[in-house]
């Protein structure tokens, strides 16, 4: 198989932005420019563009078309879109480069999560016949999963709070983070429930943001980046859409994506996990077999900044940055989508081309 | 030129749409049974009973055989507490979301439990459905579940009018829409009865309405330009079809209008003459109304030559 590497990454600071539109253009233009600058390229070098976003965040149809202003699509360019996190857009871009249709491709994801009540909007991703008409919000659905694990003895509320405390401490070094700082698990456990058994610290904050990842074929990657992050495995899987028929304490799609992406995923140095709820980080580590010596989400993870449709792509970008900077030999980026970790994607990156 | 005011323009955006969905053979039976206050499940090839029923067996992908009755009571498998219910949810008072395994089933149904307080909820709690009085063949025919041990509500058969094989799902969403800086600049100009655009610093094109970003170059646009209220019809159509919410009675003309000094045409109405008089190259001017430009009308000038607008079509 021909080789493809991540050569550039940028993300906007995650925040509730009153000045940002649902088209994402204001967040994307500087972010794309930053990624171009790092690689020393311009828009004319990009052979394929792919975006991830959702009309449900924008409240209007075909909202992603407005975002195309940010890429300067004149003369016409090869462009595509997924109604998914930008991580899945990156997957499409990766396939495009693998097939030789493009040498350099750019994936971007963006979301103005704060345009409406996010947890309510996300009810619309549920089964439209049997579940969505009840409007179960995303936080409540995650809370059902959290309680199953608590009562099965898989984790405690203290374990969950410790995930939050560790994430916030790690995010202190991440300028894009929305939440960071020093707090103890005991302090967090003193705070009230928002959706028992979840407290605010168990849930990713609502934030707006954008992320951009540039990939290139082997022939171009070394020109653009001193130490490309070679994609050695890339896979995604999905579990049943029937919440009540799933075993919510195993995540077969995460285990399946991770083993398809790498036979030896436990040996990565860094794993950036897209866990929007504290207990989901615990579930993902177990499902993927990530041991205690793997640095988990040194950015602070999605718990410290979860711009919808960009956060998963940013996880891959951050994992790639760990490799490109030489801080990691191998790194894993993960993205999730759907209720209670229904869909999972894993991208494994290495400083050494195979 | 004036600088745009810094505060972004924001306004509520409420959208409503009702999805009418066909239910298919399995869910048609399930929903029709709900209207009759019965709950059905499906037995899979592995012997497990799914309630709600699957449409295709998750193991064999075969459709289910005859559906079988389950419940109506069940057991809470997991729950979470909703202290401040959101619009559209089954109850307006604090309630529990629960995964409920109905008697005879091996999978769980997600629904609301009217337990009164979180202290009254627990995994293992026995619950029974509380039926809606007016049932239409919808998951909401179950108003919610309630603890089985509580006082029984007097049996009221209510009404059942299930639409055959169809279900309607209302969707109501509430956004706070934010105008981009370019859009805000344009909208504030309209309030002053001025037509404002922006020029790209790279290609020099003038965009109206301004987009904040040049779609050709992908760079922010900063230079502000005031445009003439006069322009040229580059192309048009005569609208003869009515639709809900239409503000002008057909027939009328929707046109692409190139303002003098602009490099992009924008869509607007041409009124003030018979639709049959509108033609490509017709010179028009903006007519101001209470909400910006109401429409355009002929300004009496001689038609613009085709060459003057052909590259803008």
Predicted local confidence at residue B159, as pLDDT: 81
Kindly state whether residue A29 falls inside one of the protein's structural domains.
yes
Phi-psi region of A118 (alpha: psi -120 to 50; beta: other; left: phi over 0): alpha
Distance CA B300, CA A336 (A): 61
Predicted local confidence at residue B246, as pLDDT: 87
Kindly state whether residue A64 falls inside one of the protein's structural domains.
yes
Q: B9: distance to nearest CA of chain A, Å?
A: 8
> Residue A135's closest chain B neighbor by CA?
B89
Q: What is the mean pLDDT of residues B212-226?
A: 87
Predicted local confidence at residue B3, as pLDDT: 45
Our count of domains for chain A comes to 1
Kindly state whether residue A187 falls inside one of the protein's structural domains.
no
Q: Which residues of A touch B81 (CB under 8 A)?
A: 143, 193, 195-196
Q: Which residues of B touch A32 (CB under 8 A)?
A: 218
Predicted local confidence at residue B155, as pLDDT: 67
Distance CA B298, CA B255 (A): 12
- The CATH number that applies at residue A32 is 3.40.47.10
Using one digit for the tens of pLDDT, what is the confidence trace for A232-281?
999 999 999 999 999 999 999 999 999 999 988 889 999 999 999 999 99
Q: Do residue B86 and residue A119 have CB atoms under 8 angstroms apart? A: yes
Predicted local confidence at residue B1, as pLDDT: 41
Strand boundaries in chain A, DSSP class E: 4-11, 48-52, 79-82, 104-112, 193-195, 198-199, 208-217, 229-238, 270-272, 295-296, 330-337, 343-350
Q: Do residue B21 and residue A43 have CB atoms under 8 angstroms apart? A: no
Total beta-carbon pairs less than 8 A apart between chain A and chain B: 169
Please report where in the chains the tokens 């009759």 appear, as a residue: B36
> For chain B, what's the residue count?
313
Predicted local confidence at residue B270, as pLDDT: 96
Q: Which of A132, A195, A242 sits opposite B80 (nearest CB)?
A: A195
Q: Do residue B169 and residue A128 have CB atoms under 8 angstroms apart? A: yes
Kindly state whether residue A176 falls inside one of the protein's structural domains.
no
Q: Which residues of A touch B10 (CB under 8 A)?
A: 18
Kindly state whether residue A353 falls inside one of the protein's structural domains.
no
Predicted local confidence at residue A2, as pLDDT: 64
Please report where in the chains the tokens 């792509």 appear, as a residue: A313
Using one digit for the tens of pLDDT, what is the confidence trace for B63-103?
999 999 999 999 999 999 999 999 999 999 999 999 999 99
Q: Which residues of A touch B21 (CB under 8 A)?
A: 128-129
CA distances from B8 to A112, B4, B13, B191 (A): 15, 9, 15, 15
Cis-peptide, bond into residue B112, ω within 30° of zero: no
* Structural element, H or E, at residue B285: strand B283-289
Predicted local confidence at residue B264, as pLDDT: 92
Kindly state whether residue A10 falls inside one of the protein's structural domains.
yes
Q: Do residue A141 and residue B50 have CB atoms under 8 angstroms apart? A: no
Q: What is the mean pLDDT of residues A27-54?
A: 95
ipTM (interface pTM):
0.94
Q: Report helix, strand and coil shares of chain A as percent, to nearest 5.
A: 40, 20, 40
> For chain A, what's the residue count?
354
Predicted local confidence at residue A73, as pLDDT: 83
Q: What is the mean pLDDT of residues A56-81?
A: 87
Question: Is pLDDT of A301 > 90?
Answer: yes
- Choose, out of B175, B212, B216, the residue to mutate when testing the contact with A (most A CBs < 10 Å): B175
A330-337 vs A343-350, strand pairing mode: antiparallel
Distance CA A105, CA A90 (A): 9
Question: Is pLDDT of B160 > 80?
Answer: no
Kindly state whether residue A220 falls inside one of the protein's structural domains.
yes
Using one digit for the tens of pLDDT, what is the confidence trace for B263-281?
999 999 999 999 999 999 9
| Percentage of chain B exceeding pLDDT 70 | 97
Q: Which residues of A touch B110 (CB under 8 A)?
A: 130-131, 134, 136, 141, 144, 243-244
Q: Choose between A126 and B1: higher pLDDT.
A: A126
Q: Where are the domains of chain B?
A: 12-173, 181-312
Q: Which of A117, A120, A134 sits opposite B112 (nearest CB)?
A: A134
A92 lies in which domain range?
4-116+206-228
Q: Which of B89, B98, B212 sits opposite A135 (nearest CB)?
A: B89
Q: Do residue B140 and residue A133 have CB atoms under 8 angstroms apart? A: yes
Question: Is pLDDT of B4 > 60?
Answer: no
- Choose, out of A129, A208, A246, A342, the residue to mutate when testing the contact with B (most B CBs < 10 Å): A129
Q: Which of A21, A70, A240 sits opposite B218 (nearest CB)?
A: A70
Predicted local confidence at residue A252, as pLDDT: 97
Comparing CA positions, the residue from A98, A140, A91, A170 lying closest to residue A345 is: A91
Predicted local confidence at residue A63, as pLDDT: 85
Predicted local confidence at residue B156, as pLDDT: 72
Q: Choose between A258 and A353: higher pLDDT.
A: A258
Predicted local confidence at residue A119, as pLDDT: 97
Q: A14: distance to nearest CA of chain B, Å?
A: 17
Q: Do residue B178 and residue A18 have CB atoms under 8 angstroms apart? A: yes
Question: Is pLDDT of B194 > 70?
Answer: yes
Predicted local confidence at residue A354, as pLDDT: 60
Using one digit for the tens of pLDDT, what is the confidence trace for B26-71?
999 999 999 999 999 999 999 999 999 999 999 899 999 999 999 9
Kindly state whether residue A296 falls inside one of the protein's structural domains.
no
Comparing CA positions, the residue from A31, A161, A140, A154 lying closest to residue A86 is: A31
Question: Is pLDDT of A192 > 80?
Answer: yes
Q: Which residues of B touch A45 (CB under 8 A)?
A: none
> Residue A32's closest chain B neighbor by CA?
B218
Q: Which of A20, A69, A134 sits opposite B89 (nearest CB)?
A: A134
CA dihedral over A74, A76, A78, A83, signed as positive or negative: positive
């Amino acid at each position: 198989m021909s080789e493809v590497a991540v050569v550039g990454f940028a993300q906007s600071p995650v925040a509730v932005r009153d000045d940002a539109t649902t088209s994402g253009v204001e967040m994307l233009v500087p972010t794309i420019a930053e990624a171009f600058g790092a690689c020393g390229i311009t828009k004319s070098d990009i052979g394929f563009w792919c975006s991830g976003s959702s009309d449900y965040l924008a409240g209007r149809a075909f909202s992603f078309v407005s975002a195309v202003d940010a890429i300067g699509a004149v003369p016409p360019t090869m462009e595509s879109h997924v109604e998914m996190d930008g991580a899945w857009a990156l997957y499409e871009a990766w396939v495009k480069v693998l097939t030789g249709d493009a040498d350099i491709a750019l994936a971007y994801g963006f979301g103005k999560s704060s345009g409406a009540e996010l947890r309510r909007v996300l009810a619309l991703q549920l089964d439209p016949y049997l579940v969505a008409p009840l409007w179960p919000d995303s936080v409540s659905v995650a809370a059902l999963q959290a309680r199953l694990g608590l009562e099965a003895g898989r984790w405690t509320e203290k374990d969950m709070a410790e995930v939050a405390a560790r994430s916030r401490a790690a995010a202190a070094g991440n300028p894009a983070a929305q939440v960071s700082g020093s707090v103890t698990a005991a302090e967090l456990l003193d705070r009230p429930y928002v959706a028992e058994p979840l407290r605010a610290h168990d849930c990713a904050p609502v934030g707006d943001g954008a992320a951009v990842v540039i990939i290139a074929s082997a022939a171009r990657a070394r020109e653009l980046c001193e130490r490309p992050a070679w994609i050695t495995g890339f896979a995604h899987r999905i579990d049943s859409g029937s919440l009540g028929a799933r075993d919510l304490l195993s995540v077969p799609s995460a285990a399946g994506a991770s083993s398809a992406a790498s036979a030896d995923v436990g040996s990565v140095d860094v794993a950036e996990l897209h866990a929007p709820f504290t207990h989901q980080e615990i579930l993902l580590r177990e499902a993927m077999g990530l041991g205690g010596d793997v640095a988990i989400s040194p950015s602070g993870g999605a718990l410290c900044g979860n711009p919808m449709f960009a956060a998963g792509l940013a996880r891959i970008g951050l994992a790639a940055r760990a490799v490109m900077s030489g801080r990691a030999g191998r790194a894993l980026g993960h993205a999730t989508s759907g209720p209670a970790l229904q869909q999972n994607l894993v991208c494994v990156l290495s400083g050494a081309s195979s | 030129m004036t600088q745009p005011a810094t505060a972004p323009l924001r306004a509520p955006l409420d959208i409503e749409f009702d999805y009418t969905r066909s239910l298919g053979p399995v869910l048609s039976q399930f929903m029709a049974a709900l209207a009759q206050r019965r709950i059905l499940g499906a037995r899979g090839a592995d012997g497990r009973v799914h309630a709600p029923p699957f449409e295709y067996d998750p193991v064999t992908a075969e459709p289910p055989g005859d559906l079988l009755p389950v419940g109506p009571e069940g057991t809470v498998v997991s729950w979470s507490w909703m202290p401040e219910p959101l619009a559209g949810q089954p109850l307006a008072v604090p309630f529990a979301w629960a995964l409920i395994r109905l008697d005879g089933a091996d999978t769980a149904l997600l629904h609301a439990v009217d337990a009164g307080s979180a202290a009254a909820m627990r995994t293992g709690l026995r619950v029974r459905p509380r039926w809606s009085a007016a049932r239409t063949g919808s998951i909401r025919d179950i108003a919610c579940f309630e603890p089985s041990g509580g006082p029984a509500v007097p049996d009221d058969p209510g009404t059942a009018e299930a639409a055959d094989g169809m279900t309607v799902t209302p969707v109501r969403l509430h956004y706070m829409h934010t105008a981009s800086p370019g859009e805000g600049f344009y909208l504030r100009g309209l309030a002053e009865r001025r037509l404002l655009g922006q020029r790209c610093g790279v290609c020099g094109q003038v965009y109206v309405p301004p987009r904040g970003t040049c779609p050709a170059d992908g760079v922010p646009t900063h230079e502000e330009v005031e445009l003439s209220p006069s322009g040229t019809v580059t192309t048009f159509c005569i609208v003869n079809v009515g639709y809900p919410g239409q503000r002008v009675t057909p027939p009328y003309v929707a046109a692409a209008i190139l303002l003098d000094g602009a490099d992009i045409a924008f869509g607007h109405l041409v009124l003030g003459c018979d639709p049959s008089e509108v033609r490509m190259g017709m010179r028009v001017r903006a007519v101001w109304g209470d909400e910006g430009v109401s429409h355009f009308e002929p300004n009496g000038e001689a038609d613009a030559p085709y060459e003057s607008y052909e590259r803008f079509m």
